[in-house]
Copies of this chain bind each other. A is one copy, B any other.
Amino acid sequence: MTVVLEPIGVIHTPFGTKDEAPIHGAFHPDVIGTVEVYPEFEDGLADVETFSHLILIYHFDRHGPVHLIQPTFLSDDPHGLFACRRPGRVNPLGLTVVRLIERRGRELVVGCVDMLDHTPLIDIKPYVRRFDCYPEANDGWLEGRKNGPKPPGRE
């Protein structure tokens, strides 16, 4: 049984190409983007402005090939797809926690963006500390890996 999704908006960012986009938005809190929600869904934004952080779920609409095991941005060693956040996924959905700076009607100005410009928006969920914040979590195989520059040609 398949699941069919319909974008609820579009995300505008400074990144027109994969080479420009950072490894992860968390390392770049001051990179600003705009989340535009389509008019028919604007009412669903009520009270979004009370949150400091939001979870964006979006479509990796320009992802590369899907390999179940391959090297990643932060490692030359191959890792399983479900142990990585890379775009080429069986179900190409991305997830980024962004910092909400301002709501302007049906537009949200946010920091920490890392997705490509014009990325289709699938869902917005409030980031709730008691649901989503686990300071005791480890960083798995990423432990100790430096957030260096992206290896060229890799995604």
Chain A interface (Cβ < 8 Å from any Cβ of B): 1-8, 24, 26-27, 37, 41, 43-48, 50-53, 55, 57, 59, 61, 68-69, 78-85, 89-93, 95-97, 120, 122-142, 147
Question: Within the complex, which residue of B1, B69, B84, B93 is in contact with A57, where a contact is CB–CB below 8 Å?
Answer: B93
Secondary structure dominating the interface of A: mixed
Listed by A's residue number, 7 A-B pairs whose Cβ atoms lie within 8 Å are A44-B68, A47-B141, A50-B83, A51-B141, A93-B123, A95-B125, A128-B137
- Nearest neighbor of A75 in chain B, beta-carbon distance: B47
Q: Interface centre among A47, A96, A125, A135, by most B CB within 10 Å?
A: A47
A11-B117 Cα distance, complex, nearest whole Å: 34
A151 vs chain B, min Cβ distance (A):
18
A86 vs chain B, min Cβ distance (A):
10
Taking CB atoms, residues of chain B closer than 8 Å to A125 are 82, 85, 95
